[in-house]
Amino acid sequence: MADTPTDPLAAVREHLDEAHAAADRLVREAQQQADAASSVRADVPPHGWEPRRASPPSLPDLHALAALLDSVRASIPPELSRQLLEALRDLLLALRALIDWYLERLSEPGGREGAPDVEDIPLD
């Protein structure tokens, strides 16, 4: 059985499975922390009378997300990585062209269609 070639996508699948498991673990841990934080004195408002304020949403561990992206990036072939970078560059160029077109349209006289004509009326 040592002569059988290994599946080249098996390593990618394994990395993706590990990344999915890590992401799932992070979501479960965040949910547990949120449940624990909300159960602490849930019936007593701060200072005994103040209304409850919405707390800002907490961010998940960004280091784990960065490690996940690194593992995915390392697991794809270099040619596919190059193609994805070219596609991203083309998308950014198209977005830039769209923004430039919209700014030119706004800066042209009469660029806003349906905008009312404005007339300066002296106050004296």
Per-residue pLDDT reduced to its tens digit, 104-120: 888 877 655 666 677 88
Six-digit token pair at 56? 């800002």
Stretch among 32-36, 41-45, 98-102, 119-123 having the lowest mean pLDDT: 41-45
Q: Whose CA is closest to 11, among 96, 85, 95, 72?
A: 72
3-state class (DSSP) for residue 37:
helix
Six-digit token pair at 42? 């849930």
The count of other CB atoms within 10 Å of the CB of residue 36 is 9
Percentage of the residues of the chain whose pLDDT score is greater than 90? 14
Return d(Cα 102, Cα 54) in angstroms, integer: 37
For 60-119, give the DSSP string. P-HHHHHHHHHHHHHHS-HHHHHHHHHHHHHHHHHHHHHHHHHHHHHHSTT-STTPPP--
Predicted local distance difference test score (pLDDT) of residue 1: 44
Query: Amino acid letter at 48?
Result: G
Task: Write down the mean pLDDT value for the chain.
Answer: 77
More confident residue, 124 or 27: 27
Query: Amino acid letter at 33?
Result: Q
Return d(Cα 116, Cα 107) in angstroms, integer: 16
Whether the predicted model's global pTM rises above the 0.75 cut: no
Q: Residue 110: left (phi > 0), alpha (psi -120 to 50), or beta? A: left
